[in-house]
Structure 1
Amino acid sequence: MDETMPVRNPVQFGFLVTVGVGLALLVYYLAANVGALGGWITGAMFIALGLDPIVRWFESRGLPRIGGVAIVLLGFAGIVVLMATVVIPSIARQALGFINGFPQTFDDFLSSNFMGELDDQFGIRDKVENEAGKFFDTAFSDSSLIGNFLNNLINAGSAVAQVITGTLIVMFLALYFVTSLPTIKAWGIRLAPRSRRRRVAELTEKITQSVGNYVMGQAVVALLNATFALIVMSLVGVNFPLLCAFVVLLLAFVPLVGGVVAGILVTFIALLNGWQSAAVYAICYFAYLQIEAYFISPRIMSKAVAVPGSVAVIAVAGGGALWGVLGAIIAIPVAASAMLLIREVFIPRQDRR
């Protein structure tokens, strides 16, 4: 129909507009209420892409893909079992010990020579004790505060249950995705026009390999980071080193800022043992971060698409604002994929004009 022709059936036109608006609202409702599911699927896909380079390595050695997938699945299952039976119970015991022993540890910290010197100059201990007394007096006299605390405990238990459920779902989805990744990519390529499927297949392969290399490389960097932190914490005598190393491992997955935040957090924990332990740990760990940034990460990430520093900072900030920690983790590979599409598709098209 010519665009200049008037609408001959306004009822039909209004109905189509109403249906379109209704579908848009339905899509918005689904996106707003299945955010957790979207996060689970995204996390599982990134884990699958991170395991895919290992499968491809076995394939390059002459092993069929099904054999490489089986070896990866067995190794992944072994790591999960090790975490569930050994690592997580140890971390839980240390976390419980940290919570139970924190009052005494904090009191010892206030009685240390370091705090004594600060107290002589600024009177810090009296201020801390007065504020703590006011807090406990308010906590036990205000019934609404106690009720809010109990509600927070219930919400925390619900959040823990959601985390456990989400972790199990992500693991099973990741195992399924890594097994059927070629089939998923083939179906996605068939959605493109027939004349462009070959080009779409090439770009899809480049993007998936780049994202997979990034995820695997980031996992190796985070593991090295946590291992070094654990060794330094054990040498300087930081309390609950396994628990702190686990926190460092999780934060190290967040690009750019995760390692710095982990270093500051563990330094404050080491400060409870004395300023000497905190200073030694901070010097060693932040020196390692420089070595990691200039020597370790460039070599491990050499096969992933390079992202300029300014783009990486903007991507991490935007991803964290939109989707929290998961958004910050996936921001750089998403930005790398976008840059690859710009370089491979948009710029050549502009050059031909």
Structure 2
Amino acid sequence: MLNRVKQPLPGAQPRVRFTIPPESAELGQAAAVEQPAPGAMFRHPIYLGFMGTVGVGIALFLNYIMANTSQLLLWIVTALFISLGLDPVVRWLEQRRVPRPLGIVLVLASLLGLVAMFFATLIPTIVDQTTQLITKAPGWITDFLNSDFFRQLDVQYHVIDTLNTQVEKFFQDSQAVGGIFGGVVGVGSTIANGLFGTLIVLVLSLYFLASLPTMKKWGYRLAPRSRRARVEDLSEEITAGVGNYVIGQVCVAVLNATYAFIVMTILNVPFSVLLAFVVALMAFIPLVGGMVAAVIVTAVSLTAGWQTAVIFAICYVAYLQFEAYFVSPRIMQKAVAVPGAVAVISVIAGGSLLGVLGALIAIPTAAAVMLLVREVFINHQDEH
């Protein structure tokens, strides 16, 4: 009975795997077929015109594909960015004799567990504080409308009459009222697309993280053999810099949000948990994220008094200076180094092209471009 179980099933075949072809050891083999003279084919006008037409057609086809799959390409870039950020942790586990598949499972399980614990703790607090904000907002509006400043403004510019007139016009316009319901449907579809995109990004991140060494080997094989070692060194340096940058940015964001939460708790700033979450998100945006978070939290701190807002602004701006000169250099010492002007330009350009994701990957991309310029173009110019 045991022998029967051990025997393979009738007709069973091993699974076919897509492997990299072995490198050829014979580099100096001459082609058996006689090659045409260089540029001979391009001298014929019909051939040249045909190939030019084919090239334009391929370019238009690629442009059509890029225009209609932009969302998918954005998901792929996000997943690749996440996988490059998690790869240093997986490689660190591999150095501790943990198999790569097990290391990937441990890293993803730890990440998902931390995210689940974070949101399980955060969401009830956010819901509670958001409810308080909605409840208190009418009182704040009433106090503002009854203030001397608004009364003087209304006497001079008739603000209340203008608002009443605009509200009546809005509700009399059927298209505007219908747009509200269309906006609600649009918000629902946006949320659904966001959840679907999150699932796609998680699945792609898992596959990219599992097959990242194989993907690198395939990429290196696309380069000429004489330059393959150089391409591999540059690619490894770029990917290592991106991974260290992602991990460092996460550490900076956590420290930033923790400090802001402690200061807000001491000063009794309202909605401290919600604002700490906003600070953490803003900290992922290089250069400008910290100042945007400072403006948002300071504006909310004004509800507790201008003294509270001033104290928080001083403490948080001081921490940003401390972070810029002491925290970030030590955390990012193995990551990327980009001059300030290049960093600002790259963040603005990345944000304009891809939004928040573009701002996040702008600095690693700029560092990669600068590395290639330094190691390839400048070296080539120095040799001539």
TM range (shorter): 0.7 to 0.9
1:340 is aligned to 2:371? yes
Give the % identical residues. Answer: 51
Mapped contact 1:105–1:272 kept (Cα < 8 A): no
Q: How far apart in 2 are the matches of 1:198 and 1:39?
A: 30
Opposite residue 103 of structure 1, the aligned amino acid is P
Opposite residue 41 of structure 1, the aligned amino acid is I
- 3-state SS in 1 of match to 2:287: coil
Opposite residue 68 of structure 1, the aligned amino acid is G
Pairs within 5 Å for 1:114-125:
119=149, 123-124=152-153
Instruction: Please list every run of 5 or more consecutive structure 1 residues that lacks an aligned counterpart in the other structure.
Output: none
* CA 1:130–1:94: 2 relative to 1, 3 Å: farther
Aligned to 2:82: 47
- 3-state SS in 1 of match to 2:195: helix
Instruction: Please list every run of 5 or more consecutive structure 2 residues that lacks an aligned counterpart in the other structure.
Output: 1-36
Q: How far apart in 2 are the matches of 1:171 and 1:123?
A: 55
* CA 1:221–1:278: 2 relative to 1, 3 Å: same
CA deviations over 1:217-267 (Å, ceiling 9, x no partner): 111111111222222222223332222222221121110111111111222
Q: How far apart in 1 are the matches of 2:93 and 2:41?
A: 63
Mapped contact 1:106–1:272 kept (Cα < 8 A): no
Q: How far apart in 2 are the matches of 1:8 and 1:187?
A: 37
1:196 to 202, 227, 231: 227
Aligned to 1:70: 105
Aligned to 2:17: none
Q: How far apart in 2 are the matches of 1:6 and 1:47?
A: 45
Aligned to 2:273: 242
1:293 is aligned to 2:328? no
Aligned to 1:264: 295
CA deviations over 1:21-41 (Å, ceiling 9, x no partner): 221111111111211111111
1:25 is aligned to 2:56? no
Pairs within 5 Å for 1:31-180:
31-108=66-143, 119=149, 123-124=152-153, 132-180=163-211
1:232 is aligned to 2:263? yes
CA deviations over 1:203-223 (Å, ceiling 9, x no partner): 111000001011111111111
* CA 1:4–1:338: 2 relative to 1, 3 Å: same
* CA 1:30–1:93: 2 relative to 1, 3 Å: farther
- 3-state SS in 2 of match to 1:239: coil
Aligned to 1:220: 251
Mapped contact 2:42–2:48 kept (Cα < 8 A): no
Mapped contact 1:109–1:272 kept (Cα < 8 A): no
* CA 1:125–1:94: 2 relative to 1, 3 Å: farther
Pairs within 5 Å for 1:281-320:
281-320=312-351
Q: How far apart in 2 are the matches of 1:130 and 1:265?
A: 31
- 3-state SS in 2 of match to 1:104: helix
Opposite residue 300 of structure 2, the aligned amino acid is I
Q: How far apart in 1 are the matches of 2:94 and 2:316?
A: 38
CA deviations over 1:266-291 (Å, ceiling 9, x no partner): 22222233323322222222221111
Opposite residue 55 of structure 2, the aligned amino acid is G
Q: CA deviation at 1:156?
A: 2.0
- Relative to total residues, which structure has the larger helix share, 1 or 2? 1
Q: How far apart in 2 are the matches of 1:208 and 1:70?
A: 21
Kindly report the root-mean-square deviation, in angstroms, between the aligned alpha carbons of the 2 structures: 2.6
Q: How far apart in 2 are the matches of 1:6 and 1:343?
A: 35
Larger CA deviation: 217-226 vs 234-243: 234-243
CA deviations over 1:108-149 (Å, ceiling 9, x no partner): 4666xxx66xx29x9357776566545544433433332233
Larger CA deviation: 80-89 vs 332-341: 80-89
Higher relative contact order (CA 8 A, sep 6+): 1
**Corresponding residue pairs, total:** 346
Mapped contact 2:79–2:208 kept (Cα < 8 A): yes
Opposite residue 230 of structure 2, the aligned amino acid is R
